[in-house]
Amino acid sequence: MMNGTGTQTTAALVLFDLDDTLCDYAGARAGRLRKAFRAALAHAPGGAGVDLDRVIAESLAIHPHGSDHFAALLARYGLSDPDVVQAARDWYHANRFLGLALFEDAAETLRAVRAAVPGRRIGLITNGPAEVQRDKIDLLDLATHVDFAIISDEFGVAKPDPAIFQEGLRRGEATREETVFIGDSPEFDIAGARAAGIHAIWMNRGGLPWPGAPPSPDEVRSLADVRAILGAATMVPSMRR
């Protein structure tokens, strides 16, 4: 396995988180919030001059996924019409997948990681409602690239519970010593994988300092780094254009 210096690993099983590891969930969410808030604040006095980046940041700080707080948040900026607020909430949820896409090299990474080691298996472990996460997997055409996907709502427990990671080992037919997990959340991904005894790699796209207790995990800044660590830095011939 890896020693923290970027050494390649021949792990038999590679487990990935989904949101903000393979797909740009945060970017799509911010785009949806921007559209919803811009449309709503057009009905508020002076709403056209509101700093939407600030409103989005405040919304994410209150609740990164829900919309129950929209009324109170938009009231700070002069919007008091409940029908407009409800329309913003309805639009936000009806367009839950607007702008959602894999990171540009995600499919390439999954193909190359699999091809790098004969017999290597790939799985997803993701938190969230079953219907939403399954729809994401279908939208992003990920089923063609992975052997299995475990969704917390279907399995019955969520990351960081080590049980969901142990289920990944069972489905991937690998021991924890043969496995690596890549995810972006220190709290859910890294802590959970570590609790299950699986080598965890932190997807730290923003170059943030490790927020948890030492030792800090191995980290990557991009999927290109993931390919390098997993022995897949060079694309296989079928991927060349």
Residue 235 reports pLDDT greater than 60? no
Q: Quick: pLDDT tens for 135-167.
A: 999 999 999 999 999 999 999 999 999 999 999
Measured distance CA(47)–CA(43) in Å, rounded: 7
Span 55-69, average pLDDT: 96
Look at residue 233 and tell me whether its pLDDT is greater than 80: no
Calculate mean pLDDT across residues 82-106.
97
Angstrom CA distances, 227 to 19, 36, 107, 240, stand at 18, 37, 11, 15
Q: What 8-state DSSP symbol labels residue 19?
A: B
CB proximity list for 202: less than 8 A, separation 6 or greater: 183, 184, 186, 189, 190, 210, 216, 217, 218, 219, 220
Mean of per-residue pLDDT scores for the chain: 93
**Residue 216 in tokens:** 């800090």
pLDDT over 80 at 216, yes or no: yes
Residues 192, 181: Cα–Cα separation, whole Å: 10
